[in-house]
């Protein structure tokens, strides 16, 4: 029996002739990158553990989350990385050059069939060129910088085929929003998805990037496209050499094979709070907006800029509406300049930013204020992710059309006259809280824990809810605890009421979203002992394992009859949980061999 796409890549990079789902393999990494918010912690881990760089030629820093260096803490962190890079001979893609995951294939560094890790949770965007990219936390990246390889669990694969004709006006963003509507945030959790179909084969690089970049929002390891002839030619030209085409074997085995009718896909929009909460965009026609944003790693490509320009040419952004546009790389920015696209934007009243990630990770352009309604082409609209307002996700053409109309609409339904704002009383409310983190960190290697439980009966708790991106510049663990869950409705006072030794029990897909290590370390700061969830976001689970912080999965805990503040006993060796108030016991997933090895030595880098 043959291997799937991702199995073939991992086989080639692990030295194993055959790899199978569930196996843990040591994977050689061709491209090792750290960004400006994760980079300083990577440097810190390397220095504190006296680790050396395995291969500087394969190691990179990318300053894309704050490409102006306009935030003092970001500027300081960027300089930490610069100094380290100069000393170690590491290449830096400095501010103004663009998004790291785009630069690696634009510069011919990552190619079809290659492997890449980055502190960017959307590193799986490399699936667009048929490569394996993964976002990881700072310990993982530090280990990869030092060793050139990293452990990885071979995922199961899903073969997803879109049949029928692609409807007119369905942009690549609509495609992935339709997929999110179908599968939600966790039905594809932990799978590698291979996308097939006649219409898929026709997709351009820019379209593939849009779809692959939102694999993370589906909980998937990656969405992989078999490179077309045009993609291979592009990558060979960029790399300056002939490349081998790696793809799935014809007799590969899949955990699932799914067919969807492409002809039934609709123009979609994500409602604020969750990327997967998608509906037909027509349901929100007429919804007044304050601002619009076009860019990000998902929709910052040339074709996205061109689609926006076609809408904006000869038009103006509606009075009072702010439209911000940020191309993904400086090369694309200059192409837009040469072809007159930037002039179209400026004539329409657009704020154009220099290349970078823009609104994500508290970036320099694209944030919104309290109560502000934004239509965005970004990949995430988690509460607080792009600011304190309400963010709807849509395609570039529809975002541009909405900016012209002053309300949510599509490029085919722009009114002759824009909607104006009504005069109304402004209400601004702010809240402050005073919390103190317990900074004592215990490193006892015990295997049985007893503690009081907090039951957080929610699914898809993302890392912005756990540890908001506005705190990402924090590098000291003892400062992180006070911000735990301060963006999760109903639990914003968690840090204040949490006690040392507490245990968290929660639902599916805990830790969805970005690759930030702080979302694990904040609980270590509070001296929480264990997190037990029905499932975890893939990157979050890795980060916890590598930090020697116990995370465990369950199928059903109902027999324990648990309630908040019951005391439980957790045995990580045997996978048992006991409710000490009634002595009821049930089984949960015990530590894997790798998890136990890392836990016993106190962390991946110990």
d(CA 384, CA 511): 15
Residues 526 and 487 both lie in one domain? yes
- For position 440, what pLDDT does the model report? 37
- Calculate mean pLDDT across residues 582-594: 97
Can you tell me which residue has the tokens 């409705």?
A: 489
Q: What percent of the chain has pLDDT over 70?
A: 96
- Calculate mean pLDDT across residues 144-167: 98
Residues 280 and 238 both lie in one domain? no
Please determine, for residue 369, whether its predicted confidence score (pLDDT) is greater than 80. yes
Distances in whole angstroms, Cα of residue 244 to Cα of each of 222, 325, 470: 20, 36, 42
Residues 195 and 249 both lie in one domain? yes
Does any domain span residue 411?
A: no
- Calculate mean pLDDT across residues 9-36: 97
Can you tell me which residue has the tokens 């546009």?
A: 325
Give Dmax over CA atoms of the chain in angstroms: 73
- Calculate mean pLDDT across residues 103-119: 98
- For position 444, what pLDDT does the model report? 61
Can you tell me which residue has the tokens 């290697």?
A: 445
Residues 55 and 202 both lie in one domain? yes
Does any domain span residue 442?
A: no
Average pLDDT of every residue of the chain: 94
Residues 187 and 280 both lie in one domain? no
Please determine, for residue 272, whether its predicted confidence score (pLDDT) is greater than 60. yes
- Calculate mean pLDDT across residues 94-109: 96
Q: Is 567 exposed, middle or buried (0-12, 13-18, 19+ CB in 10 A)?
A: middle
3-state secondary structure 480-524: CHHHCCCCCCCCCCHHHHCCCCCEEEECCCECECCCCCHHHHHHH
Residues 244 and 310 both lie in one domain? no
Residues 503 and 517 both lie in one domain? yes
d(CA 385, CA 465): 9
The residues, any chain, with a CB within 8 Å of residue 340's CB and separated by 6 or more, are none
Residue 444: left (phi > 0), alpha (psi -120 to 50), or beta?
beta
- Calculate mean pLDDT across residues 124-128: 98
Q: Is the dihedral of CA 29, 32, 38, 43 positive or negative?
A: positive
pLDDT tens profile 212-265: 999 999 999 999 999 999 999 999 999 999 999 999 999 999 999 999 999 999
CATH number (domain holding residue 133): 3.30.499.10
d(CA 181, CA 173): 12
Dihedrals phi, psi of 337, to nearest 5 degrees: -65, -45
Tokens found for residue 334: 């200059």
- Please, which pLDDT band fits residue 366 given cuts at 50, 70 and 90? confident
Please determine, for residue 427, whether its predicted confidence score (pLDDT) is greater than 60. no
- Please, which pLDDT band fits residue 426 given cuts at 50, 70 and 90? low
Decide which of 372, 405, 438 is a domain's last residue. Answer: 405
Please determine, for residue 442, whether its predicted confidence score (pLDDT) is greater than 60. no
Tokens found for residue 483: 């911000």
DSSP designation for 273:
B
Residues 156 and 20 both lie in one domain? yes
Does any domain span residue 123?
A: yes
- For position 437, what pLDDT does the model report? 37
Residues 175 and 206 both lie in one domain? yes
Residues 259 and 320 both lie in one domain? no
Can you tell me which residue has the tokens 């100069």?
A: 86
Please determine, for residue 597, whether its predicted confidence score (pLDDT) is greater than 60. yes
Q: Are 288 and 406 in contact (CB under 8 A)?
A: yes
d(CA 98, CA 95): 7
Q: Which residues face 458 on adjacent strands?
A: none
Q: How many CB atoms lie within 10 A of CB 561?
A: 11
Please determine, for residue 429, whether its predicted confidence score (pLDDT) is greater than 80. no
Decide which of 208, 238, 264 is a domain's last residue. Answer: 264
Can you tell me which residue has the tokens 């109560």?
A: 371
- Calculate mean pLDDT across residues 198-208: 98
Calculated CA dihedral for residues 413, 414, 417, 423, nearest 10 degrees: 90
Q: Is 271 exposed, middle or buried (0-12, 13-18, 19+ CB in 10 A)?
A: middle
Decide which of 340, 371, 405 is a domain's last residue. Answer: 405
Does any domain span residue 425?
A: no
Tokens found for residue 90: 């590491």
d(CA 431, CA 339): 47
- For position 432, what pLDDT does the model report? 33
CATH number (domain holding residue 464): 3.20.19.10
Domain, as residue range, for 334:
268-405
Does any domain span residue 420?
A: no
- Calculate mean pLDDT across residues 190-207: 98
Can you tell me which residue has the tokens 């896909």?
A: 265
Residues 259 and 284 both lie in one domain? no
467 HSE (CA, 13 A, CB side): 26
Does any domain span residue 544?
A: yes
- For position 367, what pLDDT does the model report? 83
Does any domain span residue 434?
A: no
DSSP helix/strand/coil, 568:
strand
Residues 392 and 277 both lie in one domain? yes
Does any domain span residue 415?
A: no
Smallest CA-to-CA distance from 404 within 323, 508, 458 is with: 323
Smallest CA-to-CA distance from 280 within 199, 394, 380, 166 is with: 394
- Please, which pLDDT band fits residue 200 given cuts at 50, 70 and 90? very high
Please determine, for residue 431, whether its predicted confidence score (pLDDT) is greater than 60. no
Domains held by the chain: number: 3
């Amino acid at each position: 029996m043959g291997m799937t796409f991702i199995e073939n890549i991992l086989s080639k990079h692990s030295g194993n002739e055959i790899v199978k789902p569930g196996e843990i393999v040591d994977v050689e990494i061709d491209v090792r990158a750290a960004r400006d918010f994760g980079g300083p912690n990577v440097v810190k881990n390397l220095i504190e553990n006296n680790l050396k760089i395995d291969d500087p030629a394969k190691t990179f820093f990318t300053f894309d989350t704050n490409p102006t260096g306009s935030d003092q803490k970001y500027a300081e962190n960027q300089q930490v990385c610069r100094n380290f890079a100069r000393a170690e001979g590491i290449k830096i893609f400095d501010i103004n050059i663009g998004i790291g995951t785009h630069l690696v294939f634009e510069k011919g560094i990552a190619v079809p069939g290659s492997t890449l890790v980055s502190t960017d949770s959307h590193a799986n965007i490399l699936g667009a060129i048929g490569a394996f990219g993964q976002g990881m936390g700072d310990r993982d990246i530090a280990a990869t910088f030092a060793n050139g390889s990293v452990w990885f669990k071979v995922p199961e694969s899903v073969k997803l085929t879109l049949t029928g004709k692609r409807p007119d006006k369905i942009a690549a963003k609509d495609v992935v929003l339709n997929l999110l509507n179908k599968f939600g945030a966790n039905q594809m959790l932990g799978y590698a998805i291979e996308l097939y179909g006649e219409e898929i084969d026709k997709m351009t690089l820019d379209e593939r990037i849009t779809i692959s970049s939102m694999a993370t929002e589906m909980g998937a390891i990656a969405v992989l496209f078999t490179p077309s002839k045009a993609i291979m030619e592009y990558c060979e030209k960029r790399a300056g050499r002939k490349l081998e085409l790696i793809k799935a074997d014809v007799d590969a085995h899949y955990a699932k094979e799914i067919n969807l009718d492409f002809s039934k896909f609709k123009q979609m929009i994500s409602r604020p709070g969750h990327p997967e909460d998608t509906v037909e965009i027509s349901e929100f026609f007429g919804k007044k907006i304050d601002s619009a944003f076009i860019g990000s790693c998902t929709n910052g490509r040339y074709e996205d800029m061109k689609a926006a320009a076609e809408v904006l040419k000869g038009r103006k952004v509606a009075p009072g509406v702010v439209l911000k546009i940020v191309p993904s790389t400086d090369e694309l920015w200059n192409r837009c300049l040469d072809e007159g696209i930037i002039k179209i934007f400026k004539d329409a009243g657009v704020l154009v930013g220099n290349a970078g990630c823009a609104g994500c990770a508290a970036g320099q352009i694209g944030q919104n204020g309290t109560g502000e309604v934004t239509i965005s082409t970004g990949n995430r609209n988690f509460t607080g992710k792009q600011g304190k307002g309400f963010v709807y996700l849509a395609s570039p053409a529809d975002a541009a059309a909405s900016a012209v109309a002053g309300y949510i609409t599509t490029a085919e339904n722009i009114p002759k006259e824009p909607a104006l704002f009504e005069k109304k009383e402004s209400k601004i409310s702010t809240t402050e809280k005073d919390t103190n983190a317990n900074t004592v960190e215990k490193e006892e290697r015990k295997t049985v824990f007893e503690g009081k439980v907090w039951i957080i009966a929610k699914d898809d708790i993302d890392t912005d809810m756990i540890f908001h991106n506005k705190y990402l510049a924090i590098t000291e663990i003892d400062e992180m605890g006070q911000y735990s869950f301060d963006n999760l409705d109903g639990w914003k006072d968690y840090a204040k009421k949490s006690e040392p030794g507490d245990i968290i029990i929660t639902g599916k897909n805990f830790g969805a979203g970005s690759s930030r290590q702080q979302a694990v370390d904040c609980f270590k700061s509070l001296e929480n002992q264990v997190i037990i969830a029905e499932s975890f976001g893939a990157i979050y689970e890795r980060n916890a394992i590598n930090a020697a912080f116990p995370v465990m999965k369950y199928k059903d805990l109902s027999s324990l009859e648990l309630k908040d503040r019951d005391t439980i006993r957790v045995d990580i060796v045997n996978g048992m949980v006991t409710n000490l108030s009634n002595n009821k016991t049930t089984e949960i997933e015990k530590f894997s061999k790798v998890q136990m090895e890392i836990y016993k030595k106190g962390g991946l880098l110990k």
